Chains A and B, each alone.
Chain A
Amino acid sequence: MTEVTELSWPEADAPHTKEVLLNLGPQHPSTHGVLRLVLELDGEYVARVDPHIGYLHRGTEKLAESFTYTQIFPLTDRLDYLCPPSNNLAFALAVEKLLGIEAPIRAQYIRVLMAELARISGHLLITGALPLDLGAMTALLYAMREREMIMDLLEMISGARMHTSFCRVGGVREDLPDGFFPKIREFCDIFPNRIRDYERLVDNNRVFLKRTQGIGVISAADGIDLGLSGPNLRASGVDWDIRRDEPYEIYDRLAFNVVTRDEGDCYARWRCRVEEMRESVRIIEQCLDQMPDGPFQIDMPTIAFPVDKDRVHCSMEALIQHFDLSAYGFKVPKGEVYSAIEAPKGELGFYIISDGSPKPFRMKVRAPSFVNLQALFGVTNAHYLADMIAVLGSLDPVMAEVDK
């Protein structure tokens, strides 16, 4: 809360109430990134909130128009940087639909496994960050400890802790490394107990409950009208999960519950995420049990680099294809596709228009945080300023995704 400017309201007929304009952010710890909120305050109440975004705008969509499809993967990493594997998956699926191909089953399992790890990692942050916004710091430190385990697992798979860029069109970059299975099984054994720890730490905290229950209530109809998606929408009682309702990859082979709650308040949104982490662990365990052997990449030398490099060294045609693919990328047939997945923050959609060249003609990212943040308009009216922080935290926007 950096500066306070007084507004003069000549037409105000109540002399002792004075509205003030408050500038919150862009550098403020509780705004989760570079978000600036211009608030009109009536006493302690928020009369109007106007989020100003764009401080992190990198022009992902414009850049993508000058990149080949493979080059776009690192750009998608940087959308929701808490869960890059989900973003990679969403983009790869969109391109694969345009090409009319499907990744091998093993690759699909690896992708889902990584996406669920990412979901846990994203939800862990908010599990700790919402109590932090409300003054309880401990939970975040513990959440970060477990998040570190996920970072280690992602590093084992891809070599990178955060920006994995592990998906490729038609598969994944490499097979899972040796020694990965015992490590992730260990994580799956430990983690459910840790979730119970957070619950004991936060869920019985009376201050936290008072600050979140009944605060920022969004009804189901309002949630749909405001375009909310993901846990934010499910916390309002709308039973909608793209993983179950429009299954992609191998989600139709997995058993998991879609967590919904009816209250629609900050607590419900927090609670939904905690429960979803449990479901994600279940999904990961099933992926490990069911994961078949086989190729991790599609066998199409025009789209994916051959796994067996000897082919490139011994055959002229394979060498030409390899060169072509590295230098120019692969061509995608003319057409358009909208493909959405259930990312940790909600519906992450990629709308791609292809003109038949190796670069997309237009790529639109339907970023869930962008839409979720907008709901702040409708929700925080007639709330205390301090409660608005709780609402903002519970909507869980990631500014990198908001600003694209």
Chain B
Amino acid sequence: MSVETSLIRTLIAERFGEAIEELGFSHGVHAFAVPPDMIVELCRFLKEHPALRFDFLSDICGVDHHPEAPRYEAVYHLCSLTNKWRVRIKCRLGDPPRVPSVTGVWRTANWHEREAWDMYGIRFEGHPDLRRIYMWEGFEGFPQRKDFPLRGYKDKLNPFGAEGPPPTQPDLATKDIP
């Protein structure tokens, strides 16, 4: 356990108490687990704290742990260009997955979140423009979910796809949730 891990851990514990769980240090990255409602607060804290300064958001990544529950996960990779530290924030999400958007903290989060929405159907609440990014408008389903077949579903354009109708998820369609 290095000095920086204990520093990051102490600062987070001072600010957030027991709510944020530490997942240890591996391969150069400190990992923490956070409940979804605290993600924006934690990101802002990590970015703005003068001793930490995690100002660079490397990546936001969706994960599907099907059939485990809670099924989904949003993983954030932050980097501190000043201190040369990296942090991973993991956020387990239920079904349907919803998490507040961090576009207010970093503008770069915009496309990362659109990608996670497109591929996993993770709804980032407060995102200014949550549209599909890779798949076309009107595409049904979320292709990187574990229960989505690799070759897609069979239709007239895709004769090699899996049998069966694509899952329609009215509550997760691109329209806003009431």
Contact, CB under 8 Å: A54 / B88: no
Contact, CB under 8 Å: A53 / B134: yes
A62/B150 contact (C-beta < 8 A), A57-B135, A224-B81, A371-B108 known: yes
**B45 contacts the other chain (CB 8 A):** no
**A142 contacts the other chain (CB 8 A):** no
Q: Identify the stretch in A7-15, A346-354, A389-397 within 8 Å (CB) of chain B at 4 or more residues.
A: A346-354
Q: Give the shortest distance, in Å, between A347 (CB) and chain B (any CB).
A: 6
A366/B134 contact (C-beta < 8 A), A245-B84, A338-B88, A374-B111 known: no
Q: Chain A contacts of B81 at CB under 8 A?
A: 224, 238, 240
Q: Give the shortest distance, in Å, between B157 (CB) and chain A (any CB).
A: 15
Give residues of chain A (283-303) contacting chain B, Cβ–Cβ below 8 Å.
none
Q: How large is the interface on A (under 10, 10 to 19, 20 to 34, 35 or more residues)?
A: 35 or more
Contact, CB under 8 Å: B63 / A59: no
Q: Chain A contacts of B143 at CB under 8 A?
A: 59, 62
Q: How large is the interface on B (under 10, 10 to 19, 20 to 34, 35 or more residues)?
A: 20 to 34
A 14-45 to B, binary, CB cutoff 8 A, 1 in contact else 0: 00000000000000000000000000000000
A362/B63 contact (C-beta < 8 A), A245-B84, A351-B77 known: yes
Contact, CB under 8 Å: A349 / B84: no
Contact, CB under 8 Å: A97 / B27: yes
Q: Please, how many angstroms separate the alpha-carbon atoms of A366 and B29 in the complex?
A: 16
Contact, CB under 8 Å: A224 / B27: no
**A190 contacts the other chain (CB 8 A):** no
Contact, CB under 8 Å: B84 / A246: yes
Which of B88, B106, B111, B144 is within 8 Å of A370, CB to CB?
Answer: B111
**B42 contacts the other chain (CB 8 A):** no
A 50-89 to B, binary, CB cutoff 8 A, 1 in contact else 0: 0001100101011100100000000000000000000000
Q: Please, how many angstroms separate the alpha-carbon atoms of A240 and B53 in the complex?
A: 15
A 220-231 to B, binary, CB cutoff 8 A, 1 in contact else 0: 000011110000
Which of B61, B86, B110 is within 8 Å of A364, CB to CB?
Answer: B61
Contact, CB under 8 Å: B107 / A349: no
Which of A53, A224, A347 is within 8 Å of B55, CB to CB?
Answer: A224
Q: Please, how many angstroms separate the alpha-carbon atoms of A403 and B55 in the complex?
A: 26
**A340 contacts the other chain (CB 8 A):** yes
Contact, CB under 8 Å: A225 / B58: no
Contact, CB under 8 Å: B110 / A374: yes
A227/B135 contact (C-beta < 8 A), A62-B150, A246-B28, A337-B26 known: no
A 361-404 to B, binary, CB cutoff 8 A, 1 in contact else 0: 01010100011001001100000000000000000000000011
Q: Chain A contacts of B107 at CB under 8 A?
A: 225-227, 377-378
Please give the residue numbers on chain B whose beta carbons come within 8 Å of chain A beta carbons, in ascending order: 26-29, 55-59, 61, 63-64, 75, 77, 81, 84, 86, 88, 106-108, 110-112, 119, 132-136, 143-144, 150
Query: What are 14 inter-chain pairs, A to B, with CB distance below 8 A?
Result: A62-B150, A66-B150, A97-B27, A98-B27, A224-B56, A225-B108, A227-B56, A238-B81, A336-B26, A336-B88, A338-B58, A338-B77, A351-B77, A371-B111
User: Given contacts A366-B59, A377-B110, could you give 4 more A-B pairs where the C-beta distance is less than 8 Å?
Assistant: A59-B144, A338-B58, A351-B75, A371-B108
